[in-house]
A and B are shown apart, each in its own frame.
Chain A
Amino acid sequence: MNYTLDFTPVIEGMPNLLTACLGTFMLAISGMLLATVIGIGGVVLRTSKIKLLRWLVIGFVELIRNTPFLVQIFFIYFALPLAGIRLDPTPTAIIALGINGGAYAIEIIRGGVQSISKGQMEAGLALGLHKAQVFRLIILKPALRAIFPSLTSQFVLLTLTTSIASAISAYELTSVSQRIESDSFRSFEVYFTVTAFYLVISWLMMRLFAFFSARYFAYPVK
């Protein structure tokens, strides 16, 4: 054992690594927003009267949940240009993250919507609100509150998943660290530091979600 740890390349690359953390945040937050949109849209379709739509959503959810993100991101990366959509790796990664997170979000949000008692829906309809209004004004917030813990832990997972976007060289922490690693060959030092960065990022995410939860969902239940 005559290897000495040398963190010089890590320290020299620190500005790059810190900016890359912002890239990871950006990727994660855009992915979460897209996932939320897909999640809500998916739940609306999942409860539609048309059987085909319901089955399409179920098929989509199961397909995404039972295949690795790495395969999904490769597939999307190669499929988009064939569909005539030319995008840089980073937007492609956001789409892939959104689709992946969206599938999980559909399942979670569906559970939340089901947890709202049917009487709420009926009362809203009886008051003359449109179905969409009942969903937006009555069901959405308590449902969000019910699903917030599982949705946010899914979002922390999504944040960690952004590291896989390095496979298509999207701009985020892992791809930047891989560049520093291949320049300096200080593999362990680089990846060890970056792992610590991820720990801080996921901790910050959790604090952020806890703050939101305390801010928006701290109303009495009964």
Chain B
Amino acid sequence: MGQDEFLFLLMGLKWTVALSVIGFVCGCVAGLGIALARTSGVPLVERITAGYIAIFQGTPLLMQLFVVYYGLALIGIKVDAWAAVSVGLTLHASAYLGEIWRGAIEAVPRGQTEASKALALGYVSRMKDVVLPQALRISLPATIGFLVQLIKGTSLASIVGFTELTRAGNIISNQIFQPLTVFGIVGILYFVMCCPLTIYGAHLERKFAASVR
């Protein structure tokens, strides 16, 4: 494998990073909405968001990408593959992050909510200043764990036909007939992205577990 091939892989890597960032950032925004709706106390809203989460957690990401990809075209929105994949990853991430943060919001002791109500804080201030900062801290290891899952999930964009790292690997491997070398390098590139996050997540988990004791 020569320099040109490796540069092509790095181009793919760039798109993998871009997809991961878009999916994660948009997913965080939407996921926060899901988590708040899921814990809103309004039975109908809670049921709808619970269903939303169950659908995304009960179906493969690949199918979600397919349905979004062809579904967007169906309702007349003509978008590029990368945009369709971004929408798919965002929806996927919003459901998973919504569920992670729901757990975290519920793990904040009830007394905190009650105390802020007693202090006459409104919903926004109660969430923004009291509950969410604590929930964020509790959820950080799981959130980072999901980020790793999302980065790995972007590889499925290759099946939809978008040239990110895995598809770049496919193309190169078909050109130079060294699939093991190519996919070995592709694997290492993913590993280099994900491993530091995994280690950081485990470190945070240990730290929080120690501080609880």
- Using a CB–CB cutoff of 8 Å, the interface residues on chain A facing chain B are 1, 3, 62-63, 65-72, 74-75, 78-79, 82, 156, 160-164, 166-167, 174, 187-188, 191-192, 194-195, 198-199, 202-203
Contact = CB atoms under 8 A, between A and B. Distances in A.
B62 A164 contact: yes
Contacts of A70: 155-156, 158-159, 166
Q: Which of A66, A72, A195 has the most CB of B within 10 A?
A: A66
Q: Which of B58, B74, B152, B159 has the most CB of A within 10 A?
A: B58
22 contacts: A1-B76, A66-B194, A67-B194, A68-B153, A68-B156, A69-B155, A70-B158, A71-B169, A71-B186, A75-B179, A75-B180, A78-B173, A163-B62, A164-B159, A174-B60, A188-B71, A191-B66, A192-B67, A195-B66, A198-B58, A202-B58, A203-B58
B123 interface: no
Nearest to A201: B58
Interface string B69-109: 01101111000000000000000000000000000000000
A198 B63 contact: yes
B59 interface: yes
A163 B71 CA distance: 19
The majority secondary structure among interface residues of chain A is: helix
B191 A188 contact: no
B48 interface: no
A66 B166 contact: no
Q: Which of A65, A70, A82, A198 has the most CB of B within 10 A?
A: A70
Contacts of B61: 160
A192 B155 CA distance: 21
Nearest to A186: B70
Contacts of A82: 180
Nearest to A65: B198
B58 A163 contact: no
A163 B58 CA distance: 12
A70 B191 CA distance: 13
Contacts of A68: 152-156, 166, 190
Nearest to B154: A68
Given A1-B76, A71-B186, 11 more contacts: A1-B75, A66-B195, A67-B190, A67-B194, A68-B190, A75-B183, A160-B58, A164-B60, A167-B159, A191-B67, A202-B58
Contacts of B67: 188, 191-192, 195
A78 B74 CA distance: 37
B201 to A, nearest CB: 11
A199 B55 CA distance: 7
Contacts of A67: 152, 187, 190-191, 194
A75 B169 CA distance: 11
B180 A79 contact: yes
B131 interface: no
B64 interface: yes
Nearest to B65: A191
A137 B59 CA distance: 37
Contacts of A174: 60, 62-63
Q: Which of B59, B61, B153 has the most CB of A within 10 A?
A: B59
A161 B166 contact: no
Q: Which of A3, A162, A163 has the most CB of B within 10 A?
A: A163
A222 B187 CA distance: 47
Contacts of B70: 187-188, 191
Q: Which of A1, A160, A162 has the most CB of B within 10 A?
A: A160
B133 interface: no
Contact of A74 (B62, B148, B153, B179): B179
